Chain A
Amino acid sequence: MATEAIARPIQHPREYTGLLGWLLTTDHKKIGIMYLIFTIIFFFVGGLLALLVRLQLAWSDTGILSQDQYNQFFTMHASTMLFLFVIPVGAGFGNYLLPLMIGAKDMAYPRINAFSLWLIPLAALVMFSSFFVEGGSAQAGWTSYPPLTGKTFLPGSGTDLWILGVQILGISSVGGGINFLVTTMTMRAPGMSLARMPIFVWMIVITSVLVVFATPVLAGVLTMLFTDRFIGTGFFDPRQGGNPILWQQLFWFYSHPAVYIMILPAMGIVSEVLPVFSRKPLFGYKAVIYAGAAIGVLGFTVWMHHMFATGLSVPLTIWTMLATMMIAVPSGVKMFNWLGTLWGGSLIFPPPMLFAIGFLFMFLIGGVDGMFHAIVPIDYAINDTYWVVSHIHYVLFGGSVFGVFAGIYFWFPKMTGKFLDEGLGRLHFTLMFIGMNLTFMPMHVLGLKGMPRRIADYQSGQGWEVWNLIATVGAFIIAASMIVFIINFIHSLRSAPKTAGEDPWEGNSLEWSTSSPPPEHNFDSLPELHSERPTRDARIARQPLVPGAQASAEH
């Protein structure tokens, strides 16, 4: 079988080495790794803020933080985790993996890609600088509802810097989303039809559609908030004929699809990891794709379930309730696809598999306790209590973050040629799994006992202290697990031997057919592809897809 060289030019005018090689690169792999490093740093920053919040709430009347500090820290915790960690970390994996998985040399627009990356630290500087301005950082929660965010109540520039930072991140996201879509449309290797793309690529594509169509609405509504604050427009001010509910409508029109932007890449990662360590094909490849697409489409119709308490009309309420419950159907389909993949497989449990299975458990709990919010009468009772906090952390921490760590342990050997230490990885997983459940499970109880979210302090004698203390202990166990991870990461990077080879896990998708780390152009040549598991097919046929890829590795 003749091999066909892919003679796509890469648009690198000059090669730099050392630090400049990273700062000026347009190589999707280096950009992807920098995305991951930046976002994980922000994950740690957001985590430290969370620890302070948990310390303050550990018992009634602790007095560790002032109310202003508390408001700033919980707002910046959420803003950091959502806008600077969960959303861009998906783009980081996408950047590194998507071109490799479809057999391309790079992204469609390498320079726009670098631009999208460098906007992220810029936005972080803008957002974090707000801690040092008069009045402190943004402090109205990550949802920043007016009229609280109006000039009357928050005259300081912290809110303005927050708006600016989120706008910059929106530009970064849209640039990245367009890049992923065009890359997938125009740069697939011969034989890589849409129905042969890895699930991860599909999930990045669906995520990108959501990014491209939802993020601009956020840009519009943030601009309205900005002009309300600066030139006195009245979009959210009833005295001028505006309405604060308008903010909620437009904000959630973005931010509900955004929760799928946050979870779909993690679902893609899990869909790659589970088949490899079950030694089976993914159960229902097409069903997973259709379910992902259905989640994407339905995700645009249910934003008002964040607004049941604002007094929507009855037909809107009922429609939103039904549509929200409908989303559980494709999510359930995926859950059964994953279970079907495990069923009867020859399971092995290295760290990526542990995190992927952790994802299944945690995401299931998050999905089920979210359904209570979908049911309007129950939502009236538990709206804005700690039940919400528990729900979003089960889906975002238990879901997205477990998926992210599954991905890190899974692809670290591809990125570096080295394994992360397996024993430390198991310790990391165990601590994180225990800590996560200790932190967020008691919040269900707190929610049912009526503890409102976003309060800086509470009176004793309501039966809240013990549950809060357990949650705080859990938060510090999570922190301990992160220390284990950092030790593992640095230790493995510095002193682990390069033993990974091309295909350390006996993988399925194309990235396992090139060296670890891959050369700058990814593949010397690729044959016409015939299935959605090209690397596995070649391994079974004992005919490597890319002859001598190991020898051509650069390092």
Chain B
Amino acid sequence: MTALAQTWRKVTRRGGAAQTTEASEEVAVTISTVEAPSVEIAPNDPLVAYLQSSGGAVDVESLELESPGVTALREAGVALVVPLISGGELVGTLNLGPRLSDQQYSTDDKRLLDGLAAQAAPALQVAELVQKQAAEARSRERIEQELKVATLIQQNFLPRVLPDLPGWEVAAYYQPAREVGGDFYDLFELPDGQVAVIIGDVTDKGVPAAMVMAAARSLLRASGQRVVSPGEVLERVNDLLCPDIPEKMFVTCLYLVVDPSTGHVRYANAGHNLPYARTADGSMELRAKGMPLGLLPGMKYEEHEAMMSPGDGLLLYSDGVTEAHGAEREMFGTPRLVEHVADPASGDLIDGLLTQLQRFTGADWEQEDDITLVTLCRTLASGVQNGLVTGIDVRFTLPSETGNEREAMQRVLDAIEPLGLEARRVERLGTAVSEAAMNAIEHGNQGRAEIPVEVEVITTGGELIVRIRDVGDGPQATDVESPDIEAKLAGLQKPRGWGLFLIKNMVDEIRVIDADGRHTVELVLQLEGGDGDGSNGA
């Protein structure tokens, strides 16, 4: 239909009247008389079919056809209509008024006009096709260009490499839809050794979404470096985004802070899909509520905590997965995703899910929205047998400052939690760790904060070993005389000096290793099969 409209434009220009019609569903005819009233002929007007089959110029005066088009032509003063037919299709007409000589158009005139029309029609059609294709190419190029820009922005703001976390496997999958959406994810280490994990989705698509995504991601990174509390980070970013974000756009976002040494997770949510963890007991939903970012300033975000044990895996995802449609237009949905997370037999959290998604959507599926998946899996150092956790490998360091022995104790206790040891043994180990760490801080490293105390918690060969290491250039109290309370009460010994004595009584074994200028105390607990109850003097 556009073709016809453009043809009319060319025709009417001959008469000097610059009337054009952009009607898409109607055949528009404009007449070039002085008054030049425009004539519109509906596509279903019998005149169209008549002209298509007329085989040449048609006298309007003598035309016997019940047609609003003919009436209109007559009213407009058109005497002769010459159809322009190309490839059997009416592509336009030449509309002529009465001859200036007031004579009828002769057969010769008509033959001449028909000859002209026969030449003009295909030329018009070709010219028109070329024009149409050029316009389409321009528009396609513009869209491609915009897609390219959006993709570029998006990819530049996604992490190129993921942080290497000992004891963890981190993976991410990102597949933009053809019309790039606003998905993003980020992982970065925080100054205190914890790791921030972010997944988000900006409403809208293309360049605007990519721009907002870039801004949100930068704000999240900047705030995350300054504030550790996930709720507070979201609160700040929301307040910063609100004044600048385009109307009707917002950002959903999930923000987690993971302590890789203990598996402790703190998180807050700004309206994003809830993540699920694959645990020995099935799937676990990490629930948290909060408004998306950029809607209303002054929002507060709930903060929650979770614990990831060795062997657990956490899946963060965007709605491109759950809202993917199958062949019958039904959605993939959250229940299918949860089922996948809950069932280790369904395969790897990312690859297994993508396989299922592919099966669900079928082969010729055109991806509707960006798909983003991020997984954090806490690995097992020495494997897991029948769901029984046996492997732990956690390492961390602490500045040599008095009081940090409490931190060391807590982190070790968090780390061994998956072992499910008897509470009394856990308490004893806690006391031993606290004492050994205090020795390392105050004696080994002489309270010099800049020298770290290194702590390792590992399970190996049926033993749980906690290694506490200092630089060991202070006086070591490895084998002091046993403290004697009577001597102390009598003032023959100093009241202090209980540390090593306590440690020895709290664990199954203590090993002291001095090597390479470093002093290491190994606290050993026998795991099952060993000295089961580990009781000492109680």
The reply to whether chain A is a binding partner of chain B is: no
